Structure 1
Amino acid sequence: MNKKKWLVSTLCFVIAAVLLAGCGANNDANGNGAPASSGNSGSEKIKLTLWGAVPAEAGPQAVIDAWNAENADVKVEYVRYVNDDAGNLKLDTALMTGQESDLFINYTLTRLQKRVDAGVAVDLSAKTDYNIDDQMGPDAALWKINDKYYGMPTKKNMAFFWLNKKMLDDAGLPVPPLDWTWDDVQQYAIKLKKDNVYGLLQHDASFTNTMDGTVAGLGVTKADGTSNFNNDLWKKYFQTLHDMMFKDKSTPEYGEQLTSKMPVDTMFLKGEAAMLNAGEFIFRNANNLTEFPHDFQIAFATTPRVSADQKDFKYPGGVGDVLSVNAKSKNQDAAWKFAKWYADGGMLPMASGGRIPSSKSVDSKQAIELLLKGVEDKYDVDSLNKVVFGSFESFQLSVPQQVVDARKEEYEKYFLNKQDLDTTLANMAKRHQEYIK
Structure 2
Amino acid sequence: MRRRLILSILAVVLVVVAVFGISLVIVESRTIENSTKENVRSEAVRLVSTVESRLVAGERVTEESIGVTTSKDRYVRYIRVELPGRRPIEVGDKPSGEVVESRQTGAHGERITVQASRSAVRAEVGRTLLIILAVALLAVIAAAVLAVRQAHRVAAPLTDLAETAERLGSGDPRPRHRRYGVPELDRVADVLDGSADRIGRMLTAERRLAADASHQLRTPLTALSMRLEEIIAMAEGDEPEDRAVVKEEATIALAQVERLTDVVQRLLTNSRDPRTGSAVGFDLDEVVKQQIEEWKPAYRSAGRAIVRSGKTGLRAVGTPGAVAQVLATLIENSLMHGAGTVALRTRVTGNQVVVEVTDEGPGVDEALGSRVFERTVSGHNSTGLGLAVARDLAEADGGRLELLQQLPPVFALFLSREAADLDASGTG
Normalised-by-shorter TM-score class: under 0.3
- TM-score w.r.t. the length of structure 2 is 0.20
Ranked by relative contact order (alpha carbons within 8 Å, sequence separation 6 or more), the top structure is 1
Instruction: Work out which of the two has the higher radius of gyration on C-alpha atoms and give 1 or 2.
Output: 2
